[in-house]
Amino acid sequence: MPALYTLTSTLEAVVTTTRAVLQLFLNPTSDAAESLQCTYLELRTTPRATTHMTRERYLAVVLDEVEMYPATWAALIVSVNHRMSDSDLEECSSLAIEMKNRGRRVVGIDVCGDPHSGDLQSFTQHLSRAKGTGLGLTVHIAESTNNTTEDSLAFLSCHPDRLGHATFLS
């Protein structure tokens, strides 16, 4: 397990980390607005469950921090990893949809991780469902020469709004 996951295994740590990232980019370092690092930030995070929190609670505390800023400044993209089981993928995509439907500031789903892992058919099913609810969709495809055209086409069939990498898209 990466050290960052150990360091952010409690709700308090997730709040502290999320707040620090948002402040770094969105809080001016002086009185001038020109000192902002950016004018709009879509924070991307993968919901995690630990002995201290559920995925839903994890997303709720991250959104609490994101929503301290105006909607024109910050929003959340829920990322799902290729290594996730179908049930984890279902849970994360359903949480993103539910939170968006509750009026929380979830604007999209992002697919990340090793593209050679996971069940492609399961992924495209869940992604298409999320896309159908109005969530934006970002897919990382064709990141290396090892990625197949078939995999890229399968993800493109979900009609993503954004492509990550796509360096070796043919």
pLDDT tens digits, one per residue of 75-110: 999 999 999 999 999 999 999 999 999 999 999 999
Top pLDDT among 145 and 129 is at: 129
> Mean pLDDT throughout 57-79?
98
Confidence (pLDDT) at 118: 83
pLDDT of residue 7: 73
pTM: 0.90
Give the pair of three-digit tokens for residue 167: 């360096």
| Average confidence (pLDDT) over 59-65 | 98
Say if CB 160 and CB 138 are below 8 A apart.
yes
Distance CA 106, CA 166 (A): 24
Beta carbons of 59 and 46 less than 8 angstroms apart: no
Among the residues of the chain, which ranges form H helices? 3-7, 11-26, 55-66, 86-101, 120-132, 149-156
Are 55 and 48 in contact, with CB atoms under 8 Å apart?
Answer: yes
